[in-house]
Structure 1
Amino acid sequence: MRLEDELKTSRFMDDVHKAQLNILFSAAWLRARLSASLKPLGLTLEQFNVMRIVRGHHPEGILIKEITSRMLERNSNTTRILDRLEAKHLVTRTILPHDRRERLIMLTEAGIEQLLAVDRSWQKNNPHTAPWTPEEAQLVHQLLDKMRE
């Protein structure tokens, strides 16, 4: 649906303002869709984000400080999120022998299965969320990267 229809207005300061509002609106829309697909699986967006980061370092694991630096929401409490994931037996924390203050985070088998379930659920329930060609997706990446420069 067009931004004008969603916001019920056609008045914008200029095309840049309209594009910025569209990015904000679309991010909130995508976040709501992803949250809805995670809820039946018992995960929050923040928990999924941590698991996604840890999956990228499977099977060797990743340090907590590295997870924190890669979070989409930089204000998230990584330790609290890991506490909840560990209580669900989705991740493990191992104390490092050379630095007892640091913990190595790894996915459990249950965590890997949970991420596969998330992937299946997302693909099944949201096939239309990114109806782009590979070239269009690349253009979106380039424009968003340019905006953050």
Structure 2
Amino acid sequence: MNVEKIIKTKKEIPIETKTIIHLSLVNSKLNDAMTQALKPFDVSLQQFNVLRILRGQKGSPANLSTLNERMVTKMSNTTRLVDKLLLKGFVKRQICPSNRRKIEINITSEGEQSLKEMDKAIELAEAEVLVGFTHQDLEELNTLLDKF
């Protein structure tokens, strides 16, 4: 990905600025690829993330605070995400029997089944995006990104 070519400049960009622009462009490309992969399921990337978190709970309920903490993209509208998943039948929510102020959220069997299909689509999108990278390239890239 040639930053100067993409932003159509002949001017030399300082390496720090070029790096930030480069990361922003890569982030945008990745988000677009993942969003396109999830489009047939009518699920956003954030909703997909919520479903994966709930599946990772292995049957134990999660609350909104847990979901917020574990989200890849931190956001304040987790309630709205859960509401949309509830309408699709992918999650269920109930009041905690021991603390009536607490709402418990679980993934449904329909949600788990749909998530398996989404996983396949995301896996294909990831493979397409990373096609030019070797395993060693990815290890090195992750090492560099860990410095953030």
TM tier, shorter chain?
0.7 to 0.9
Kindly report the root-mean-square deviation, in angstroms, between the aligned alpha carbons of the 2 structures. 1.9
Deviation per residue, 1:30-81 (Å, 9 max, x gap): 1111111111111012211211221221222322211011223322411111
User: What's the TM-score once normalised by structure 1's chain length?
Assistant: 0.86
Counterpart residue number, 2:39: 39
Structure 2 segments unaligned to the other structure (5+ residues):
none
Verify the 8 A CA contact 2:91 2:105 in the aligned structure 1: yes
User: What's the TM-score once normalised by structure 2's chain length?
Assistant: 0.87
Q: How much has 1:96 moved relative to structure 2?
A: 1.3
Bigger drift between 15-24 and 68-77 goes to 68-77
Counterpart residue number, 1:82: 82
Q: In structure 2, what is the Cα distance between the partners aligned to 1:83 and 1:101?
A: 17
Q: In structure 1, what is the Cα distance between the partners aligned to 2:12 and 2:94?
A: 52
Counterpart residue number, 2:25: 25
Among the aligned pairs, what percent are the same residue?
30
Higher strand share: 1
Bigger drift between 56-65 and 77-86 goes to 56-65
Counterpart residue number, 1:15: 15
Verify the 8 A CA contact 1:58 1:106 in the aligned structure 2: no
* Greater than 6 Å deviation, 4+ residue runs: none
The alignment of Structure 1 onto Structure 2 pairs a total of residues equal to 147
Structure 1 segments unaligned to the other structure (5+ residues):
none
Q: In structure 2, what is the Cα distance between the partners aligned to 1:56 and 1:100?
A: 24
Counterpart residue number, 1:136: 137
